[in-house]
Amino acid sequence: MPSLVAVLGAGRVGTTIAAAWIRTGATVFLYDVSIERVKKLKNGIPLYKDEPYIDEVLKGALHDRFYPTNDPEEAIANADSIFIAVPVGLKDGKADLSYLSKAADDIARFLKRGSMVVLETSVPPGTTRCFLKEKISFLHTARKEYLKAELCRI
């Protein structure tokens, strides 16, 4: 079981994943690009009024095993497992992978050898293999770093 988990995206899926891992005893870094969202989490302010259980778990572990952050390096650099829970919407009738692309960039910059990357976002078929894995591998190679990560899709 991973002891240090990074979750990218503090939406409903990301906060649920963070709460679930906290309940297992893991330390969780929850990264989001929204300064306001992270500020609320750091102050124990609920993000979703209809999810009191999740907010209770997050608030209870705050500064002990739960660390919301706007710094991707802080979240990713030491993580055993990285869960991507960023939005994928539609733009001009096609999947908008811009948030996933940003997540892949951040992962490629800070991923440590042996970490597991899990895509928890609904994406079109082939996105994990043909977009995410290729992007992370290419960026890692371009930076002359060694990559050995397993990409999973649940």
Instruction: Report the percentage of the chain scoring pLDDT > 70.
Output: 83
H or E stretch at 74: helix 72-76
Predicted pLDDT of residue 150 = 45
The pLDDT tens digits of the residues spanning 24-71 come to 999 999 999 999 999 999 999 989 888 889 999 999 999 999 999 999
- Are residues 116 and 150 in contact, defined by beta-carbon separation less than 8 angstroms? yes
Q: What is the CATH number assigned to the segment(s) 1-154?
A: 3.40.50.720
Predicted pLDDT of residue 76 = 95
**Tokens representing 30?**
């929850």
**Tokens representing 103?**
């997540």
SS3 118: strand
Looking at residue 62, what DSSP letter applies?
B
d(CA 35, CA 80): 25
H or E stretch at 95: strand 94-96
**Tokens representing 5?**
């988990």
pLDDT classification of 145: cutoffs 50, 70, 90: very low
| Cβ-based neighbour number of residue 131 at 10 Å | 18
The pLDDT tens digits of the residues spanning 8-25 come to 999 999 999 999 999 999
